[in-house]
Amino acid sequence: MAVIYVKEQGALIQKRSERIIVSKNSKTLLELSKDNIEDIAVVGNVQVTTQALQMLMQSGIDVSYFSYSGKYLGHTAAESSKNIFLRFEQYELYHDENRRLAFAKNIVWNKVQNQIDLIKNYRWSGEYDWKPDVEQMLYIREKLKGDITGNQILGIEGKCSNIYFGAFGKMFKCKCQFNGRNRRPPKDPINVIISLGYTLLTKEICSALDAESFEPYLGFLHGIRYGRKSLALDIIEEFRQPVVDRLAIRLFNKRMINELDFDAENYGIILSEDGFSKFCKEYERWMTGREYSGTGKSFRHEIKSQVSVLKKSIRNHELYSPFCWRQNEICG
């Protein structure tokens, strides 16, 4: 089954019998049986007919909507699981400060471990001594073992991420420069790829959470903010480095994407249509291939599996064990 990405501006997605047709100006661009579609991502000015949406929802196929620049706008999906009791247990965990802080600490502990593993396992050629940065990250992470607040946990995550991105920028062997994170809009090709990758990853996590009846707006690390799907942001932390950051390094260093695949727009840059197609092809290969996660299973499978682990940990009052690329460690 395939995830279909439609970015052809002015395209129309419609239903014909049990098949989905993507066309533009009466010319068919793509035709697939609904049984061969896992999800559809619509980017920019693309129309979807009501008949197509009804068939897709009845078949359990989500349609996600993105702005032309890649901002996630939302999705349509079949009615999710009706497990209200899980949401009660999620609210209960949130209101138990000790459990909530333990959950948040463990997410950050494992995120930092993923960052460290990526730094340590990169094939450095001697131009950068990574050991002092890793030692500093380990020193900062130890503070998670103390009696600290939620804001202090986020502060530790931020300090480690600043060190990590300094090392991350040195991993690219291409003309594109990375001098730290910038966004809304991203101003360099590497940040474009990272932002788009995080956006697609967040969408996948939201779909997995909806399928299990979680309340996506109630997070434990990121807390509550109007309109923010904080639980999805909690879960994405354990997948940022294994999935998106490693993919970005691969795409640029293997010359799968280069500076010619981007266009300037509104004080920033975006992927061209050709560049977007290249990225989506490699992203799908990366998400579905069993050889990339280190577990023998695809990243897409691991995301759904982690949501199941989250569900079990909440219901059984157990400490959640996040996905760790090399090993699972728990902040004790």
What is the signed CA dihedral for 131, 136, 141, 143, rounded to 10 degrees? Answer: 150
pLDDT < 70 regions, the chain: 80-82, 126, 326-332
Identify whether residues 23 and 108 lie together within a single domain: no
**Domain co-membership, 308 together with 160:** yes
Beta strands 62-66 and 72-76 are: antiparallel
Backbone phi and psi for residue 20, each to the nearest 5 degrees, phi listed first: -105, 130
At residue 331, the pLDDT reads: 46
Domain identity same for 110 and 183: yes
Per the structure, the complete domain to which residue 122 belongs is given by 84-315
According to DSSP, residue 240 is labeled: I
The CATH number of whichever domain residue 257 belongs to comes to: 1.20.120.920
My answer on whether 16 and 92 are in the same domain is: no
- Residue 165: inside a domain: yes
Across 130-163, b (16+ Cβ under 10 Å) vs e yields eeebbeebeebbeebeeeeebeebeebbebbbeb
106 in any annotated domain:
yes
pLDDT recorded at residue 326: 67
**Is the domain of 192 the same as that of 297?**
yes
> Domain for residue 9, yes or no?
yes
Whether 69 and 136 share a structural domain: no
Q: Which pLDDT belongs to residue 181?
A: 87
Q: What is the pLDDT of residue 217?
A: 92
Q: Based on the fold, state whether residues 129 and 24 are members of the same structural domain.
A: no
**Structural domains counted in the chain:** 2
User: pLDDT, tens digit, for every residue of 125-161?
Assistant: 767 889 999 999 999 999 999 999 999 999 999 999 9
Amino acid making up residue 92: E
Q: Tell whether 323 is covered by a domain.
A: no
Q: Is residue 136 part of a domain?
A: yes
CATH code assigned at 8: 3.100.10.20
Residue-wise pLDDT for 189-225, tens only, equals 999 999 999 999 999 999 899 888 899 999 999 988 8
Q: Are residues 157 and 179 in the same domain?
A: yes
The answer to the question of residue 72 being in a domain is yes
